[in-house]
Structure 1
């Protein structure tokens, strides 16, 4: 044994620390007193510049030692003598003063760490001690407010974490609020500011609540600093519901102004001219296989994919999310209303709306920018009051209290009457922001967001059209009720007058399936089933929840229809007519917008997507119906019901392919199919080329490609959001490989190919053309309307990709019609009702 011990070597005996010295409160207190006495001794010494560095390092170690002793004591049983001693000696005053004078990063960090341990302790009530609060806030104000001390990120984060801890304690213990906040508001001062029309609204009272102002100053920061500041400020706004003094103080202070002006400053950082064209390095495959151009006509336009823009838009949206959180946590109706007033007057009226009014398509960028920014704002918001404020103002929707208010427009959530202070604050805000000459004021009633969208849809710039379509889809998907009567000129109607029979439904779905198959005849069964499931999910998400208190018959009473001359549908239809030559991303946004309209459950889609039941005709039966033996046992009522049921499954006769009664969408699809038939005659192997293109897109992960166009403007749907009807059906449809839908009868569209053949010019191919030469041949399409000055052109390569997009869209419309009937029942299909 001795041999092995000598060979391996035995560890040296370690000194054992008596356990009593660690757990003994008196021994721990002795060590604490010793360390504090050393701090006092060092502080009492006259300053010596040659030894200051050594002294400061020693102070840092002693501060860290005190913090560690307090943490050890917090985990030990009572009594906690160190905490009692720290409170009685008010060590916070000394260490805070040393940190301010030292300007030493290490000493400051150790001081913040020590004060944090005192704040986190549950004894001695440091947070209810006015001396402690005064010392701490004096220190933090010098560190963050003056700018004379430059802190490292780690130290600044520790300071904000300390302030957050205090705000969290105030939230849990409202009784300590008077220690940190004392109102000295003088409302009469605001009258002076208002009369003189100063550049700010509200009274700056930093000395009343320095904690609140210090947090407000860091809410724009990224990382943990911003997180601590924003969350701490949320807790303070939550406390307004439990303190009338704090509520009154916030309403009369400049905090709402600071929040609104901060949002405006971040919005102003966004570029006025924006390019949403993909750069060559990240061009999705679906765009690469087309005539898509990555060159913007104006070099000064900032790319939406640049790091600078991505950082600015992320910061702006983050602060917008903070606004939502503040309103959601705020428990004071007056404070919430004051914040909303500042949001509308200082941000919407003074900044966002003027950018809409001043936007132009002629400068090749400002319309794209503002449409994209409004789209991003509406995607990021889900707080009802903010959404209501934005859309009622930008869409010029009358308030619910006015006679001309549209009944389909959602009403703003009810709030209690304002206090006199809140009313006065709003009047002051309106007075200060009022234009000098009221006659020069331009309101959304004269030019609003709908006007900008409509004018953008007629632009010759594909990116402007794309941005307008994306914004339209966002409104239609996330806030469809606000689109009714504004973006869409709907008319109220009775649901029971709009339904069609089951036979008409089956014919309708079959006709759309025939068009899908005629574009490219492949199996479509699997894709159709998946699309129906997706559409059903989206439709069911819009139905009133049984727990919401809204009855289904009340929801049905809001049914409306689209008139045949609706301006938005007319503009969208014009874009659809140019499908083959449109940019791929425009067609993706276009089909998404149309599918979003078809998915709106309160909207009857007869006339545009489906045949109006009034135009359904039924042929008389050529042979007498043989009565079954069991039918003689039916009662008269049962016989009538059976006859009605059998009649509902009769297949109607649709109008002629060129009849005006056909659904507008269906008519356009027929004409597009006819144009493709003309191309098919000139390009014998067109179907093989389409099959090859489909395979290439699938191999290039078509799902990821088609849902990233572009990231700053593409919609983000959330299944958990009650306002959004599930995931985007258009995006979902792009993820399915086209398969086959069973379609009865001939798979041709029924349109004559000669109608398109005359409008196409195909240059004679060489005797042995290469694949590239074939794909690059230019197809010429005759103008789709009188407004087009010249024929439209596109390469065969471009048309091939558009064929894939169109087939998916047609199949999706058929799936939506099918799903609407399955989910909405007799609101869509009348079983047993036949129109002769």
Structure 2
């Protein structure tokens, strides 16, 4: 090419150095960086002019973005990194931070934060261990998002919180850099940090000591990435308290615990005081649509639990509650954890949550509903043992010495922590003792007992849901408070296998008395698997019990429910009016009853099963002596006599029938009123069951005979084996079996499924229940009433004024009225509930074995 250029008379131009060569040249990179940085300094030195500010801010933002690119380019390039060294030695970041803070322009602030983020990500020159760097960055962020002088958008604030999160993560990994970002200005062992009464209660506010921590805690309740960065960063700070005594003392004496507790209380206060649990028409489940369910609340001010506003507030509150639990999981300081618990108890539990419970009422259309619903949501979210124990022990008015729970070994608390707790407790105590409201006077137990028998269906529904939640998740706190249980002594007789066989037969006969000709074998199989899964989970993870640790002797069950237990009597009274109750109340009621009866620590005596103390046998049960019995010794004769006594059926005396059996029997007898008023009840009920099953995939029908056909045949699958009817050695777990059963043979009661548009008409069936030869396309006879008229007819039921219904007769005092449409749905619910009771009897005997029954 040089020869051709000379030949043609051209001039030779030397090749310019490539951009790639400049990138790899440290001196060239440094020169470019200095030019850009000097441009920033030049813009900052110009006088302010309102007319030219916009142009200067745009130039400044462009130069800062150029610095970010150069820093990241320097980080990727091979050493030496002269640009980073120049920034560290000249403290160029101070100029960048001051320029952004003075400008009060969001675009400039965003670019300046990007410069700091690029320097931190470079992991060169140890910027995070530089006190000048930390001071400059905290001054910028504090002036931007803490002073309120600069309005920044979500993207800019997110970028700032991401930088703070990165710093917290570095402190977690490199504890030695903590003194750079945290410097305490007081010594608790020398000075009184609580200089006045307010500080003794709230704590000392010391933002200058640890601005990073305060910036994070002010944003832990935010949604999106801002809240995620703040919560995770603060978790790392609390984790660092276990490695720094100065930070531990500072957190205990500061107002961080107060800010966290007051933040939780503020989010709880956002929740509406009046709450409506009524489903809107658009999302009304089919099981409620086919009843007398009303979607109109009598009080317009009550907020719907299905509204977007309520769901957003509830989600925010529960997420912050979950953050509290994360803090306890990450905190390594016992003093800090106990200080947080003290503030949770005083500021949230005693001064906010309990007063809302105390002031709730069933007459203002929703405040009791709201409190009960919020407590249910809280207990479903809480998992940290200390928080759960503190909450339920206080609200249920449980004496501390009555509940023995395993606790971690305690360590001596620091003088600052002790003084903090004493100040908190003393200042939270009212000056007048008469003004003090304690759960000993009115507890959650009292609220539940009042709500279970409430005339407001929503209140009763919320109460039953809370009872179910406590029994399913925290049953050990219900013993002695919610349920007035008694210790089962070693001398208390056990139920027998013969009695179980009799009980199964009696309950199955009740199932057979219900109208309807559909097979329940598939539904029962799924329910039995669900019950078994619940019981096996309790056996494998046995909870602590009232009065001490679980008994080593597993041959007996710990507690007996006395016949005068107030909660069960109130639930039983509600069960008596089952046919006219609201369908959602019946669903919650049956769930609560099943959760109590499925508890493996409770005996079923007198409630679901016959009480062993009332067993009596007829003379016909005595068998003639066999010739081989004369060859037995005394021990063998005693064993044979005990075996015979265990397998013999006791007499089913009306005076000693289980309470639930007597109540359900009375409800089933009330169906005779419906039979008399509706001749074609069987066909209408079959149609209702088909409508509730609409939309589900029905698998092959079970070969199990229907209880409506032959109770004794249906009993064959219910008889427990002496060694336990359900084998634990199966290769398929109970949870998998339950899912398969639910998928292959769904229950007649499927919530939320669409209703079938078809319904079996009375004229389409013959007298024996079989389809008639008449075509479904032919119009009905002129004299036949329409299906709508039939379903809307009102049926009256007598009500009784007795807690325990009599088998022989009942005292009528009033009438309850419901439509046939409503009664049909409740009959389907009742059928499923009765199958659950049968499943509980059988599965408990199969899983618990000799803990439940005596076989010899």
TM-score, normalised via structure 1 length: 0.85
Instruction: Determine if contact 1:250/1:335 at 8 Å carries over to the other structure.
Output: yes
Instruction: Determine if contact 1:544/1:555 at 8 Å carries over to the other structure.
Output: no
**What SS does the aligned partner of 2:539 have?**
coil
CA deviation string 1:188-211 (max 9, x = no partner): 5554422xx579511111111111
Matched with 2:613 is: 614
Matched with 1:708 is: none
Matched with 2:818 is: 794
Kindly report which structure 2 residues correspond to 1:702-741, keeping only aligned pairs within 5 A, or say none.
737-738=746-747
* Greater displacement, 641-650 / 349-358: 641-650
Per the TM alignment, residue 555 of structure 1 is displaced from its structure 2 partner at its CA by: 6.6
Per the TM alignment, residue 392 of structure 1 is displaced from its structure 2 partner at its CA by: 0.6
Kindly report which structure 2 residues correspond to 1:122-141, keeping only aligned pairs within 5 A, or say none.
122-141=123-142
Matched with 2:215 is: 214
Aligned pair in 2 of structure 1 residues 615, 557: CA closer, same or farther (>3 Å)? Answer: closer
Residue 808 (1) aligns with residue 811 (2): no
For 2:742 and 2:638, locate their aligned partners in 1 and report how far apart those are by CA, in whole Å. 42
Instruction: Determine if contact 2:476/2:543 at 8 Å carries over to the other structure.
Output: no
Instruction: Determine if contact 1:733/1:808 at 8 Å carries over to the other structure.
Output: no
Matched with 2:449 is: 454
Instruction: Determine if contact 1:218/1:226 at 8 Å carries over to the other structure.
Output: yes
**What SS does the aligned partner of 1:387 have?**
helix
Aligned pair in 2 of structure 1 residues 734, 379: CA closer, same or farther (>3 Å)? Answer: farther
Residue 655 (1) aligns with residue 662 (2): no
Instruction: Determine if contact 2:556/2:851 at 8 Å carries over to the other structure.
Output: no
Per the TM alignment, residue 509 of structure 1 is displaced from its structure 2 partner at its CA by: 2.5
For 1:64 and 1:320, locate their aligned partners in 2 and report how far apart those are by CA, in whole Å. 40
Matched with 1:769 is: 785
Matched with 1:523 is: 519
Per the TM alignment, residue 615 of structure 1 is displaced from its structure 2 partner at its CA by: 2.8
CA deviation string 1:533-563 (max 9, x = no partner): 2111111212245999988726777710100
Aligned pair in 2 of structure 1 residues 665, 413: CA closer, same or farther (>3 Å)? Answer: farther
For 1:352 and 1:229, locate their aligned partners in 2 and report how far apart those are by CA, in whole Å. 26
For 1:429 and 1:371, locate their aligned partners in 2 and report how far apart those are by CA, in whole Å. 28
Kindly report which structure 2 residues correspond to 1:417-496, keeping only aligned pairs within 5 A, or say none.
417-494=412-489
Aligned pair in 2 of structure 1 residues 23, 501: CA closer, same or farther (>3 Å)? Answer: farther
Aligned pair in 2 of structure 1 residues 622, 269: CA closer, same or farther (>3 Å)? Answer: closer
Aligned pair in 2 of structure 1 residues 602, 493: CA closer, same or farther (>3 Å)? Answer: same
**What SS does the aligned partner of 1:782 have?**
strand
Per the TM alignment, residue 632 of structure 1 is displaced from its structure 2 partner at its CA by: 11
Aligned pair in 2 of structure 1 residues 684, 183: CA closer, same or farther (>3 Å)? Answer: same
Instruction: Determine if contact 2:517/2:686 at 8 Å carries over to the other structure.
Output: no
For 1:113 and 1:459, locate their aligned partners in 2 and report how far apart those are by CA, in whole Å. 60
Instruction: Determine if contact 2:618/2:651 at 8 Å carries over to the other structure.
Output: no
* Greater displacement, 84-93 / 185-194: 185-194
**What SS does the aligned partner of 1:531 have?**
helix
CA deviation string 1:624-666 (max 9, x = no partner): 679799x99999877875675565444x14424xx23111111
Matched with 1:343 is: 344
Aligned residue pairs total 759
Per the TM alignment, residue 52 of structure 1 is displaced from its structure 2 partner at its CA by: 2.8
Instruction: Determine if contact 1:495/1:827 at 8 Å carries over to the other structure.
Output: no
**What SS does the aligned partner of 2:796 have?**
strand
Kindly report which structure 2 residues correspond to 1:68-147, keeping only aligned pairs within 5 A, or say none.
68-147=69-148
For 2:490 and 2:826, locate their aligned partners in 1 and report how far apart those are by CA, in whole Å. 36
For 2:460 and 2:252, locate their aligned partners in 1 and report how far apart those are by CA, in whole Å. 43
Aligned pair in 2 of structure 1 residues 259, 282: CA closer, same or farther (>3 Å)? Answer: same
Matched with 1:680 is: 675
Aligned pair in 2 of structure 1 residues 169, 636: CA closer, same or farther (>3 Å)? Answer: same
Instruction: Determine if contact 1:266/1:312 at 8 Å carries over to the other structure.
Output: yes
CA deviation string 1:259-283 (max 9, x = no partner): 1111111111111111111122221
CA deviation string 1:420-471 (max 9, x = no partner): 1111111111222221211221211111010011111121111111111111
CA deviation string 1:812-833 (max 9, x = no partner): 111122111122111101221x
Instruction: Determine if contact 2:498/2:650 at 8 Å carries over to the other structure.
Output: no
Aligned pair in 2 of structure 1 residues 175, 186: CA closer, same or farther (>3 Å)? Answer: closer
Instruction: Determine if contact 1:581/1:792 at 8 Å carries over to the other structure.
Output: yes
Q: CA RMSD in A?
A: 3.2
Matched with 2:196 is: 193
CA deviation string 1:100-151 (max 9, x = no partner): 1122222111111111122223221111100000000000001111111010
Aligned pair in 2 of structure 1 residues 605, 185: CA closer, same or farther (>3 Å)? Answer: farther
Matched with 1:534 is: 530
Query: Which residue, 826, 829, 832 being the options, matches 2:850?
Result: 826
* Greater displacement, 378-387 / 676-685: 676-685
* Greater displacement, 550-559 / 667-676: 550-559
Matched with 1:562 is: 561
CA deviation string 1:13-39 (max 9, x = no partner): x99956443344444333323322322
**What SS does the aligned partner of 1:783 have?**
strand
**What SS does the aligned partner of 1:791 have?**
strand
Aligned pair in 2 of structure 1 residues 532, 29: CA closer, same or farther (>3 Å)? Answer: same
**What SS does the aligned partner of 2:855 have?**
coil
**What SS does the aligned partner of 1:299 have?**
coil
Residue 233 (1) aligns with residue 234 (2): yes
Per the TM alignment, residue 185 of structure 1 is displaced from its structure 2 partner at its CA by: 3.1
Instruction: Determine if contact 1:525/1:739 at 8 Å carries over to the other structure.
Output: no
TM-score, normalised via structure 2 length: 0.83
Instruction: Determine if contact 1:157/1:225 at 8 Å carries over to the other structure.
Output: yes
Instruction: Determine if contact 2:693/2:748 at 8 Å carries over to the other structure.
Output: no
CA deviation string 1:279-321 (max 9, x = no partner): 2222111111001111212222111112221111111111111
Matched with 2:799 is: 783
**What SS does the aligned partner of 1:203 have?**
coil
Instruction: Determine if contact 1:273/1:366 at 8 Å carries over to the other structure.
Output: yes
For 1:159 and 1:774, locate their aligned partners in 2 and report how far apart those are by CA, in whole Å. 67
Aligned pair in 2 of structure 1 residues 579, 34: CA closer, same or farther (>3 Å)? Answer: same
For 1:496 and 1:81, locate their aligned partners in 2 and report how far apart those are by CA, in whole Å. 87
**What SS does the aligned partner of 2:791 have?**
helix
Matched with 2:358 is: 357
For 2:560 and 2:203, locate their aligned partners in 1 and report how far apart those are by CA, in whole Å. 48
Matched with 1:763 is: none
**What SS does the aligned partner of 1:779 have?**
strand
Aligned pair in 2 of structure 1 residues 497, 28: CA closer, same or farther (>3 Å)? Answer: farther
Per the TM alignment, residue 49 of structure 1 is displaced from its structure 2 partner at its CA by: 3.8
Instruction: Determine if contact 1:734/1:808 at 8 Å carries over to the other structure.
Output: no
Per the TM alignment, residue 65 of structure 1 is displaced from its structure 2 partner at its CA by: 2.3
Instruction: Determine if contact 2:608/2:661 at 8 Å carries over to the other structure.
Output: yes
For 1:684 and 1:16, locate their aligned partners in 2 and report how far apart those are by CA, in whole Å. 102
Aligned pair in 2 of structure 1 residues 588, 545: CA closer, same or farther (>3 Å)? Answer: closer
Query: Which residue, 826, 829, 841 being the options, matches 1:817?
Result: 841
CA deviation string 1:335-357 (max 9, x = no partner): 11011001101111111111111
Instruction: Determine if contact 1:56/1:107 at 8 Å carries over to the other structure.
Output: yes
* Greater displacement, 430-439 / 218-227: 430-439
Instruction: Determine if contact 2:275/2:369 at 8 Å carries over to the other structure.
Output: yes
CA deviation string 1:234-274 (max 9, x = no partner): 11111111111111111111111111111111111111111
Per the TM alignment, residue 61 of structure 1 is displaced from its structure 2 partner at its CA by: 2.3
**What SS does the aligned partner of 2:522 have?**
helix
Aligned pair in 2 of structure 1 residues 665, 521: CA closer, same or farther (>3 Å)? Answer: farther
* Greater displacement, 305-314 / 443-452: 305-314
Aligned pair in 2 of structure 1 residues 343, 44: CA closer, same or farther (>3 Å)? Answer: same
**What SS does the aligned partner of 2:202 have?**
coil
**What SS does the aligned partner of 1:220 have?**
coil
For 2:678 and 2:159, locate their aligned partners in 1 and report how far apart those are by CA, in whole Å. 70
